[in-house]
Structure 1
């Protein structure tokens, strides 16, 4: 007998972000670490003007919990209703327990379950896909999906090619189970598309253990190689996501990309034929916050959404996309 029950999908009910108090602009960065660079050099090549740096002792779980509180507030929800926490991070508080359970502790959550996802800068898209799947299969009714990073603690501050690129921060969304007709017009996460290719693992990596307590290796990157893969792979996965759902470039209202480099972001906007004002850009102020960059940008674009004041409005089709070490890459289509 065929069930007539409407299919379940995850709906983004609230978004939130958190940035550390300390702001380090390009000139101050160059002066602090004796780098042979300048504001003009960094802006021309990356679009980055400043980044936020975590305070001593400030951890990925603390920042993630702050972003989660903001997402819960926007959704008009309490932590008591959360039964799943998924944290994407490359700078966990410790090898174990998972940063997600530390977030549970900070929020006073004593039910449900939590775990971490390690997919570098694509981590939030991976975590979103996993949480969506768990909601669709009934394992959870609500979920906090968080990206949180303290990349300042895995930087080689003598390497001009990497240390100017990254910053610290956290972003989060609250997902709730909803129903629809199983169509792209339904509100919620329409689909996620995830990829990895370990043959390219050595072009972006941390050369040791990682943890936001400072006991870590350092980030190493072959920048030209990463850039080359980013442009082709991001274009391909966005086309894949749209084709899978019978959608066209012109159906997309907003692009919320991983905030790695302004040139990559602008190239993706042109690919989708979106005017610049419909591409969400925060890289100039936040730098690359890895797994936190997409939810931070989403939180900014959705700020005031519950009052009808957000840039993103109900019914808008939004593309999220990112690429990171692994290589990993992926995209998600979301209807707000």
Structure 2
């Protein structure tokens, strides 16, 4: 009996139309008496622009467009899906899940659908879960999505965080295969770092308790991120029996160009092997890896047969890596 694996057969992404440059953001912040500039943002983050969704647009709306494109690329219909996993920290509502809302919009009703909440590591977590379910025989064709409207939870009085994030969605179709696609994964979390990146608010009695806006200790996040990303990537390589030199492309969570370049250097990878979209998308949290993957596939960077390392780190603190063969 052939061993069962999973492979990515289609990718898709979507960005809301409203593009906000650093200068646009600097002008908005100036009206609040907060000083920043394009040069200041670029020097610290590598970000030149990001996209913000209109007020009525939800994460599932963005995910719908990305999912349709991924399904088209895979040559299948929504009705062919038997699993939907949606990674997000900004769901449409408290419940039901964004996955169930997306399922109905797609017309894929009936299959299991649920959200994964691991913040910026969410897509790596979701992809690992989908791979495990396919390998176990619980599904044959899964839609794995990352989508965010982080603009809703930003404090525009804090220039150290509001300049970093954007909105968007990315998706992949993952299908059962006789040949390996997802080669290995490595996931971790450490709750003692909860306070360095969080949105410390909740809903109670119809009111918001705490603070519903993003808080981050940037230096603490940077210090932790580079180290754990390298370890996760090496662990995935070890599980797959491969080495640094076997990586054709590194697609990290698009958080900050310094973190991304630092990880590439620790893995002894030339920066030419680093897929970068943070300059135009900002940090789109759970959407950033599938957005970057789709961009790289459609631009011709990532090609069939190549080894791609995906890795993410986010609030929780969560981190992980997935090594795949396209």
- 1:29 aligned to 2:22? no
C-alpha distance in 2 between matches for 1:284 and 1:150: 18
- How many residue pairs end up in the alignment? 317
Larger mean CA deviation between 25-34 and 147-156 belongs to 25-34
- 1:271, distance to aligned residue in structure 2 (A): 2.2
- 1:98 aligned to 2:97? yes
The match for 2:286 is 291
| 3-state SS, counterpart of residue 58 of structure 1 | coil
C-alpha distance in 2 between matches for 1:220 and 1:58: 23
TM-score (norm 2): 0.95
The match for 1:76 is 75
Q: Which runs of 5+ in 1 are unaligned?
A: 181-185, 305-309
C-alpha distance in 2 between matches for 1:113 and 1:205: 29
- 1:267 aligned to 2:262? yes
C-alpha distance in 2 between matches for 1:195 and 1:321: 11
The match for 1:191 is 184
- 1:240 aligned to 2:239? no
The match for 1:314 is 304
The match for 1:44 is 43
C-alpha distance in 1 between matches for 2:67 and 2:188: 27
The match for 2:201 is 208
C-alpha distance in 1 between matches for 2:21 and 2:304: 35
C-alpha distance in 2 between matches for 1:115 and 1:246: 32
- 1:329 aligned to 2:319? yes
Q: Please point out which of 7, 10, 33 is paired with 2:6.
A: 10
| Cα offsets for 1:56-81 (capped at 9, x unmatched) | 20000111111000101111111110
The match for 2:142 is 143
| Cα offsets for 1:229-278 (capped at 9, x unmatched) | 00111011111111122211001100011000001111122222322222
C-alpha distance in 1 between matches for 2:202 and 2:322: 29
| 3-state SS, counterpart of residue 259 of structure 1 | coil
- 1:314, distance to aligned residue in structure 2 (A): 1.3
C-alpha distance in 1 between matches for 2:266 and 2:172: 27
C-alpha distance in 1 between matches for 2:280 and 2:108: 32
| 3-state SS, counterpart of residue 44 of structure 2 | helix
C-alpha distance in 1 between matches for 2:143 and 2:109: 14
C-alpha distance in 1 between matches for 2:265 and 2:172: 27
C-alpha distance in 1 between matches for 2:28 and 2:163: 12
C-alpha distance in 1 between matches for 2:241 and 2:184: 12
C-alpha distance in 2 between matches for 1:315 and 1:296: 20
C-alpha distance in 1 between matches for 2:29 and 2:39: 17
| Cα offsets for 1:192-245 (capped at 9, x unmatched) | 1110000000000002138xxxx8810000000000000111011111111122
Q: How does 1:170-185 map to 2 (within 5 A)?
A: 170-180=169-179
- 1:278 aligned to 2:277? no
C-alpha distance in 2 between matches for 1:113 and 1:7: 24
The RMSD of aligned alpha carbons is: 1.2
Q: Which runs of 5+ in 2 are unaligned?
A: none
